[in-house]
Structure 1
Amino acid sequence: MNIARLLVRRSSGRLKARQAGKFVPLQLQSSRSCAQLQNFVNTIRQLGSSVAILSSAFHIREHTSQLLALYRQNASELFPRRVQAAREPTLRDSTVQAKKERELPPQLIARPRVNVNLDLEHFPSQFEELANHLVVFVQCLKEFPEFIDESINASISLFEADLRYWASCLHVYKGQFRQPSIQRYVHDLSTHFGDHADQLASTLVLFLEVGVPTIRYAQKHKTDNLLNLSTVATFFSAVIATTLQFSFQLTETRTQNAVNTFWFASLVFSIGAAVNSVLGLTWKQAIYRPPRHRVPWWVLIWIKRSPLVFLVISVACFSVGLCLFAYGSNQSPVTSIITTVMTAVTTLGLAAVSGWFASERWIFSKYRGRKWLMDILLERIERTWDLPGFSHARKAWQKTSLSLRGCARLLGRWRSWIMCNDWESSLSDDGKDLEAGGLPWVAGAGEKAETSDTGRTRRKQALLSAMKTIHLQSTIIAPFITPGKKRVETTGADPGDIDSGKLVAEPVRAERSRLSLMKRKLGVLELTGDFEAHQALVRDAQFSEDGKFLITSSWDGTSIIWQTHPEHNLLSMYRVLVHPKSYVGQTVWSPDSTMLLTKHVRSVKLWTQHGVCHKTIDRQTNIRRVAWLPDGKAFLSVEENTVFRLDLLGKELDSYDFGMTTLHDAAVTTDGSRVWAVGVLSESPSKLHPSKSPVEKRLIVYNMQTKCIEYQIPILDDVRHVSISRKARLGRNGLLALISYEIQPPQLWKLYRVSDERNASASITRVRLLHTYLPRQTGVEFAGPGYFGGKDDELVLCASKGRDIHVWDRESGIYLRHIPAAGRSSDLMCMTWNPASENPFMFATGSHDGAVQLWSLSPTREVQEPSVMADG
């Protein structure tokens, strides 16, 4: 077997292995998410009002398992040799499993089961159902106000937004989930789905470690309050029942009847407070209670407020009844008065504190914590003092206060002056003792000091003792104080780059074939011309269809038409086109090489091949790309999400709407009936946008005759350019398109027509991926579009960010030549191949520094035709 073809198969195998390997981390991340959800369920059962969140967690596990099964089914169909499909249970297995379930005791914890009837068409519905349960999960988390973590809510909300976006976009491809292009897109989504599932597991770990203990403590605190309230109400009921034994028989006077009335009412309310406290305690601890928004408001008020309110009313009734009982039982007037006064004091205190609590809650609800009750009271006091009647009194009081403060300051100064004089005289007498190092004398516990100067002597002795102590401490500690060492900083050396591997040259068999000849020709390609053409980067370059001219356009405001000399492998400057107002973004030769289009920001200029501006066509919006129609009588202008068909005078002949897809590039098929466009989806059909995952991009085949989208393919990579081969021989129904991406390698797609199964006389358009052109080295990042080259577009070329040029065989995908960046100090910005049949191996490149380089066969080196040999 040919070694080159073996390398292609190995490269293709590595690509498939890398793509199939995406399922392994998805499986691990989904399993970890389900395991954390199970731990969450087991832990959250200890909290009250958890049945709703238990239900939503179960449904999340269920739909995650079902989506994992769908991803396995999808990956097994894409990569049957690398991902094993799930084994379908037989009738015998189902019977044995049912028998085991009947023999086992009923499980207290429900386990999710995967629906065996799931199909790939259920991907959008599964995404939507999982998003709905994530919303319920977040709402249930908000039912625990004791712990609020915005990171958990934000993580789940991002997951839910991406799920809805994916579901909305996938609804467009209903009935196409068995096609490889759609299956590849769904498989690529598995990476982002796994990242969200892993993030969900991480947030659940944080909630279990921090949130659950916090919620448990807060709920225990609330239940303890209700338990204490129930205990107080129970004991108070016993007190009321005991006191009723002294008055229930006294019914002779109105006062005695009033006493019985208040005490019976107090007993009723105290019993009600105790019972409602037990009811509230049961409500708090029940896991099957519904969320707060599912409970009537009066039920919540009764459960939360009635115990405390009933107890307060019971205490008030008992206090009033006690005062009346003091009068009704013919007690001493002193006893009755003292009882009434004490009851009034306690009642007013209770009412004041209760009013303060209620006012604080009202102020907090009104001002959202910006102001407190004391702030409001001070503001009201200030407003009261500003009234006319109070303002004069306030000013008089301020003047009196200032006078009193002045007198107090004078008295303080006089007293300080007297004390300083006394201290100076006392210190002068004993200063010699301090200088001599002697300690001041302090009277012992059993000794008596003189009575005349007791206070003064004590103050003097205390001051001298303190000064001596400071002197001794500084003398003792000073020898032990040493200067600290300076900190020494060390830095490690950066590790050097290690080459991951080296290319080993493979021997090439001397066989006469197309690939061997191309390799030989590419092997003698060399740089034959380097021209300092422009003062800024070369934005675009293109050979004419007849190969006689080359045009290069730069951001310096000029375009240069070069005349080619294939016999000498040289270029000569033919015309210079000046664009003083705007730079040129694209240049396109007409199919007959007689006209030229230059695309500007909002205008298109039509030139002759001799550099004469024939027409300037102004547009209202920014122009993305332009493309000639095959007949050369009109061209297409790509603007946002619409493609306009214009004649050579700028008249709009037709327009083609691409819906919500913002186009990057478009190319016309050789028969002029269809447009192959690439772009990014501005929003989903449901007006949604992704949160973390990439925006969906699309490859679209548009029929200009029926004005409808015939086929579209979703992708995640940043697609930029499309080029249709005009010379490839694929038969009557086949067209080739080269799709280029931002960093990823270029891909070759085939557009073909097949018979419609529903209508035998009709045909439908289909698109199939043929090749992904991989380099031999790993980690190569491509820059710029890919290009067709060679005779009949038999080559594919693309430049990398390392300024290297990679060449493949279009038909087989074999890697033919790596042209290194030798001699190029600037990045490549564009490339173009000379399509002339006389000299097919010639191409030009434009650099970032404005240079134009010509690559062709060396005139001094001839390529020998290989001898005819049979392929062994």
Structure 2
Amino acid sequence: MLHSPASPQSRVSKQIDALDERESPDIPPDLEKDMRNLLQLMSFIKNSSCHPCIHKEERSDMRLKEYDSKLNLRPDVGGSSSDDKEKTYYYKRFRSLHGRIDQRLIHIRNQLTSLGGGGRTAKALESVQKALHEIDWPGGSEFMSIQECVSALAALDLVMTEVKDSFKELGVYNVVLFNKLDTIKSHSQIIKERLDVEYGQVGIKQIPVDGYLDSLVWKDLLAIFEGFLHELSDIDDKGMPTIHRSQEFQSQRYLLLTTVATFLSSVTATTLQITATDSDDISILSQTMNSLWLISLVFSTASAVFSLLIMTWHQSHVRQPDKSLPPWAHSLLKNGPTLTLVASVASFSVGLCLLSFSISKNQKHSMPAAAVPTIFAGTFSTLIFVLTSRLLFEKWKDDIFTTWNSLLDTLDRFFLHILEIINTLILIIKRLLQRNTRIRRTSVELSTYLEHSAVQQNSLATLDKHAFLSVDCMSPISLTSSGPEAWMSDYILQEEEKLEASNFENTLQFSPLGTFLASYSSGIVTIYAAKMLTRSFFLKKTLEVPDNDTVKQILWKPSGEYLLIRTKKLIQIWGIKLLHSSYEPFIEGTLVTTTSVASQSAHWLYDLPGFTCAIKSTVVTFNIEGEILKTYEFGNRYIRDVAYFGNQSILCLASPIISDSDSGAGLDKAAQILIFSTESKSIQRQIDVFSDQTSLSVSYSTNKVILHGSKRAVQVFEMTSGGLLTLDEDTYSLSNGNPIGEGNNITPWDGLSFFGKDSRLVMGVSGFEVTLFEQSHFRYKILHIFSTPNDDAKLKAPISFAASPSVPYMFAFGLEDGSIKVWSIQSDKSLIGSDPRVDNFVVHDRRSRFGEPSVSMGRYLTLPPPATARMQSV
């Protein structure tokens, strides 16, 4: 009776069970434990080897899970936890994957050295290795440099196109690989732009690779490069050997041609030597025969040289002949060995026939003896010629078929493009007709409104909407306050309740380098100093406001060494420095000048050491010592806010003054943007805006100005083109279309400002919620909606807001009691953890760049109100 052998799993299980049942006090416990672990390991190995149905991908996933379990790492959903290993999970996974990709790239490059035309691909793969090494910093550093990462991603983006083109040139057409390369290219562009725009303004060189940045940079790249590694493995294991065999077959073909041509040339040279010794025979027959054999020798030598040249070219690393030569030259080089060999054989055959006639004539043999070899030679030559012609015809037919199909495809694409152009023109004409119809309908409604002054409130709202629809906000226009839009807005404001701006107070601001944080509360201006790396606010200094005046505006100079404080009655300029003594650092505040002037607004001059302010209908510029430089009068216009663009242009937000007695009542009237030329002393352009816009936020790097304060919408004005974009909160987009959407309930943000590198983002803050927009063509699309936690239900909404220019996503909220909440989102290492005032929290991004909600860890600290004793006060 035959017994089937027990499986490895059953044998190991029996050994483990026997070890459990055996009572042997002689075996030490440690040895018994090691034996159990060894038997379990053998069981796992046997199980893995006994299941051939497990696919390669599943086995790699199993190994990856085992590796993760050894490191005790778990992927999180875009956030981080308290475990340091968990924060660098994606980064560690990427570094491990990078090692395997690097090994594959090296192996493929080694195989390319033996392939013809592989030099370009090898260089492209070497560039990929360099780009990946730039991203994967050696030593496993937990800090990243933003600009270095942006440069590395830009290099990776550029090299992906070269890799794709080089593989196509090599003859590798792997659609999946090309899709992976395109995905790497697109994601590299997205991550590069996001890092550059959102984090490129960071003043410090390195920021921690925490949970959020770890997920932002390496999470998507990890998934993409896993597929890229799979395709590289497939090319390495299957593609390279296939190309190698194909090139070997082609080389063998030309090697055989070289051998045949060399043999024929040697035979021809031998026969030529024999006939050349007979110098007495100078007949025409003899001369023709020798000439043909010389021609045959030339053609056979040319065939051998052609074959050797093309074989050497195919085996070199440079571009192949079909990629570097014109079609006619490549066809000549490709078919040259065959054609010259056929010509050599034909010449040799004719010369051989003439030799037979010459021998018959000299030795007086019969002519049939010479005709027999002639017939055989002619037959074989004709057969070779016919077969060669057929071969060349088949090649030509195949080439012309491919060329013809390519020509047909080109014609199809051309006609499709023509049809698309025609459809686009038809669509444009339809839209123009619809626009003209809408304009005519708007004109009718306006005339109806003029005839019937007593209308209902709902019809007024409809009229206001169509009035704004008839204005092309993107074109450079010049409107006056007497236009229908201006007086209509005045009429609406007179009929409805007066709109009051709910903006944040301009009493909280970080210095340009992020060294200081200035705030105002209860008659005291407080300066906080922060450590550069940890951003822990460790020192403060208070500045007294004269005569208990109310501070309306705090503004740091772009260079950061001066602080402008504007009150109801005066403007002060303070010089602020952080000094280091032998004991401890301290803040030095020096009062530079005090200017007694009651102004509506103040801004630093862009390129001059001074400031400008709006005083009723006058714009005045001062130097740093408070001396008046220039004065500009605007007649019967009330200047709400002013921005000074260099020495040539002044941009004002103004409204008409009805009478001298009510200079402040201009806030209720129509508002305009005035572009005033300081050279010609005249207003170059006037553009009507929402009548309740109250203030400006200026970006000198982009030449843009945010107009805010209105409850209806936010508008962005561009100095260079004169275009006016309107922000619609309902759709979260800035567009040049309808500023008041159908049925929208517009609720403005409490604070608006530019954000990010070169002010390419717009940030709106409402309460403790931060919304970021990114410009895309002629609109601003939403980028993030950050909801910061509010643990204390009794905590009132903030009254002021500031964003740090040097720390990514560090915000400060000023509360009514004078305390400050400093939030550091997307990075839980920006605030020092040892500070007892620092707490952790989870930040929710309700609308990320890809439209999916995400979470990240952050920290916040609370700066208490300034002490009553006014420590270190001036």
Normalising by structure 2, we get a TM-score of 0.42
Which has the larger Rg?
Answer: 1
TM-score under structure 1 length normalisation: 0.42
